[in-house]
Amino acid sequence: MAADAPHPSFEAYAAEPLPQAAVGSPGKDGRLELTFRRTAGGTALIEDYATAPFHVSGTLDHDPHPDVATVLVQSSAGGVAQGDRRSVDVGVGADALAHVSTGGSTKVQSMDRNYAAADVSLSVGSGGHLEYVPEPTILHADARYHVETGLDVAGDATAILGDVVVPGRLARGERFAFERYRSRVRGSGPDGPLFEDATHLGDDADPTAPGVLGEFPVHGSLFVVAPDRDAAALSDRLHAAVAGCDARAGATALPNGAGAVVRALGHRAETTVAALYAARDRARRRLLGGPAPSGRRY
């Protein structure tokens, strides 16, 4: 887990003892494991395991694609607190189609000791497809959050990973008051590493500087991983999908023919989410032959 080997910028935080429940205590060390398999009736969630604060209440069938199984992960906590360590493991078997998201935004609460971390491990078997698109992450003042995401795909599998980060409670004027945020996404295939991408924002650098985020507080990324598709053509399609959006957005091909990534910058979470949704919908139509599901939660 990320908690066992934090980035050097988080090592000093890890040494800070917590005045309340320690790291690893019940409720502080949440685990979520989901396994999807192809069955005669379509994709099914055949195994699930969740410890607090995660909760899973089965699958939904509202996806426009008849064979996609959807899980909305719920949380019994009001947010991510200092000392929390969360682990998510999602496996999609051969020819299975799955969509995993959250019922609401992830609120990373204010901290004065230690830090919070999430370790996400995703795998997709031959002919399978996974969409892992949680609702936005909101970084409250003084938050320290470390996220590691690893994706392993078969050569003919596909995946869509989405992430939107809001640097504070914007309605109350809280912008870039968090202490440190680091997120790394790594993709691998049958022949080894495909790509690696990292975002690191801290109090030792100005995120509003030119070449970083500039005037835009909200940023998001959408990774469309499809090793057996034409990455340049996919990138062009996604770029066209976001060209007219309110957010500042564009697409580029990933290394090693892995697929494409879309970046979006916006003044509000809604515009950034809308831009990534437009790209996701275009990718869905290309990869699965149908639209992405709406944002409604039911």
Residue 23 pLDDT level (bands cut at 50, 70, 90)? confident
- Which residues have a Cβ under 8 Å from the Cβ of 224 and sit 6 or more positions away? 158, 159, 160, 234, 238, 259, 260, 261, 262, 279, 280, 283, 287
In a domain, 9, yes or no: no
pLDDT digits (tens, 9 = 90+) for 172-197: 888 899 999 999 999 999 999 999 99
**Average pLDDT over all residues of the chain:** 92
Which helix (H) or strand (E) segment holds residue 10: the answer is helix 8-14
Could you tell me which residues are beta bridge partners of residue 260? 224, 253
Determine the structural domain holding residue 95 and report its residue range.
24-287
Q: In the sheet where 116-124 sits, what is the strand order?
A: 42-50, 31-39, 85-92, 116-124, 144-153, 180-189, 192-202
pLDDT band for 65, please (50, 70, 90 cuts). very high
- Region 100-116: what's the mean pLDDT? 95
Give domain status of residue 17, yes or no: no
Give CA torsion, residues 237, 240, 241, 244, to 10 deg: 180
Q: Is the pLDDT assigned to residue 74 strictly greater than 50?
A: yes
Q: Is residue 149 part of a domain?
A: yes
> Average pLDDT in the 68-93 region?
94
Tally of structural domains, the chain: 1
In a domain, 242, yes or no: yes
What tens digit of pLDDT does each residue of 258-284 get?
999 999 999 999 999 999 999 999 999
Kindly state the tokens that stand for 272: 């950034």
Q: List pLDDT tens digits, range 52-61.
A: 999 999 999 8
What size, in residues, is the chain?
298
Q: How confident is the model at residue 297 (pLDDT cuts 50, 70, 90)?
A: low
* Residues 23-46, mean pLDDT to the nearest whole number: 89
Write out the DSSP string of 164-214: EEE-S-GGGT--S--SEEEEEEEEEETTEEEEEEEEEEETTS-TTSTTTTT
Residue 254 has pLDDT above 90, yes or no: yes
Q: What phi-psi label fits residue 173: left (phi over 0), alpha (psi between -120 and 50 degrees) or beta?
A: left
Is residue 298 one of the residues assigned to a domain?
A: no
Query: What's the pLDDT at 211?
Result: 75
What percent of the chain is predicted at pLDDT more than 70? 95
Q: What is the mean pLDDT of residues 72-97?
A: 95
Of 100, 97, 86, 85, give the one whose Cα is nearest residue 23.
Answer: 85
Is position 6 within any domain?
no
The pLDDT score that the predictor gives to residue 6 is 75
Q: 19 with 113: CB under 8 angstroms? A: yes
Task: Write out the two tokens for 194.
Answer: 């495909």
Is the residue at 15 inside a domain? Answer: no
**Whole-Å CA distances, 82 to 30, 103, 114, 170:** 13, 22, 6, 21
Measure the CA–CA gap between 267 and 248, rounded to whole angstroms.
9
Going by the DSSP 8-state scheme, the letter that residue 291 receives in this structure is P
Angstrom distance (rounded) from CA 30 to CA 52:
5
* Residues 285, 292: Cα–Cα separation, whole Å: 8
**Is it the case that residue 26 has pLDDT exceeding 80?**
no
3 within a domain of the structure (yes/no): no
